[in-house]
Structure 1
Amino acid sequence: MMWTSTARTGCSTPSSTTFVTTLRDTPIDATDLPEYAGRLFDGYEARPHVQRLATWYRLERAGSQGVIDIVVSSMQAKVDAVAKAQADGLLTDRWSAADLLGQVLHICGLWSAMTPELAALVSDEDQAHRRTVVVDAVRALIAWSGRPGPRARIAAWWPSCDPTLGKPPCCRLGGCGLGGAG
């Protein structure tokens, strides 16, 4: 991996090729965050050096230098995708889009951020098991407990799409899976 000094950040960073490859290989699907988390986990497993370098970068440069434009752009696009899914009622709005994305990203890095002592306790768990833990944890994170998105809240109080009651507001806005066609 090549490290370069950038004018924007004024410090050494992994080359943009490393970032572009990592970002390109795992596009977000905000409508299926558990599977996105699984794919991100797969990428971390395939390229463990990226997580180690990112950890070093955060420790060495946290708060002391500028940001890396390509990473900022990528994160903003991901936050925007999560916010859209929240606005469409497909994801919980219990947390802001940025907070939810941050939690998902940290869950994905669970295994690479482990202390050696914890790693020794789970050393017999294979990659498939670790991936399942990541996917299931994200699924639990976005479960409709707490404050679900707007369409899920409508589903909770609207008895059905009974024609005598009319369609719930979400069905009139384009369908929601409650039985209305839009």
Structure 2
Amino acid sequence: MSRADATKARILQAATDEFAKYGIAGARVDRIAKTAAANKNLIYVYFCSKDQLFEAVLDAHVTHGLNSVPFTPDDLPEYAGRLFDYCRENPEVIRLATWHRLERGDRDPAVAAPARDAKLDALAATQKKDGIGSEFSPTTLLTLVLSMALAWNPSNITSLPASSSEAESADDRRRAIVEAVRRLL
């Protein structure tokens, strides 16, 4: 790895931590540069602006990360379980996606649309072929599956902490998600 690539990687990691903690508006380029042990000007050389740096972070962690979870339209319950696992292991993904929704409203990350459209097309084909979840449109079905898979993420205010009498493990929650999606279909 060249020095430039190493510096760029340090900047992306520092920016990931900064944006996950403070959001787009609260993130500071000075802190990112200091954490990355990089000259602040290099951030602008590599990424042009704080906004484009956020897009690079979002693409690297949210879009590519979530796309690394294999989408299986013929086995949506297990897909939901794998998505739950991925987000549990990578909490910054949910935080970054949440900041994007909070600060950018309904604007879809441009890089997310092709992957989402491919999932919807694959789901529509599976519904047509097997009748799985055919009571719902592909968009509604995918939204419901994603909502269930991400129900226990830390930024979900409707996610209740387990009381002392019902201490659920991550495995218990995963099983519940998989079963809920199975029943949905």
Could you say what the CA RMSD is over the residues aligned between the two structures, in angstroms? 2.3
Answering whether residue 150 of structure 2 is matched by residue 109 of structure 1, we say yes
Aligned residue among 162, 172, 175 for 1:132: 175
Aligned to 2:111, the other structure's residue is in SS state helix
1:27 CA drift (Å): 1.7
Q: Which structure is higher in helix share?
A: 2
One-letter amino acid matched to 1:79: L
Which residue identity is paired with 1:129? D
Look up the equivalent residue of 1:115 and give its one-letter code: I
CA distance in structure 1 between the aligned counterparts of 2:158 and 2:75, rounded to whole angstroms: 32
Does the aligned pair in 2 maintain the 1:23–1:74 contact within 8 Å? no
Runs of 4+ in 1 over 6 A off after TM superposition: none
What letter is aligned with 1:37?
Answer: A
Matched, 1:80 2:121: yes
Q: Deviations over 1:92-123 (max 9, x none)?
A: 21010011000000100100144388215377
2:45 aligned residue: none
Q: How much has 1:53 moved relative to structure 2? A: 1.6
Q: TM-score, normalised by structure 2?
A: 0.65
Distance 1:125 1:77, change over 3 A: same
Identity percentage of aligned residues: 34
Larger Rg: 1
- State how far apart, in whole Å, the 2-side matches of 1:67 and 1:116 are: 23
1:38 deviates by 0.5
Structure 1 Cα separation of the partners of residues 110 and 54 of structure 2: 14
For the residue of structure 1 that corresponds to 2:86, the secondary structure is: helix
Secondary structure in structure 2 of the residue aligned to 1:94: coil
Q: Is the counterpart of residue 118 in structure 1 residue 160 in structure 2?
A: yes
* Unaligned residue ranges in structure 2 (runs of 5+): 1-12, 20-49
Unaligned runs of 5+ in 1: 143-182
Whole-angstrom distance in 1 between the partners of 2:111 and 2:152: 25
- Paired AA for residue 87 in structure 2: Y
**In structure 1, C-alpha distance between the alignment counterparts of 2:80 and 2:96, rounded to whole Å:** 20
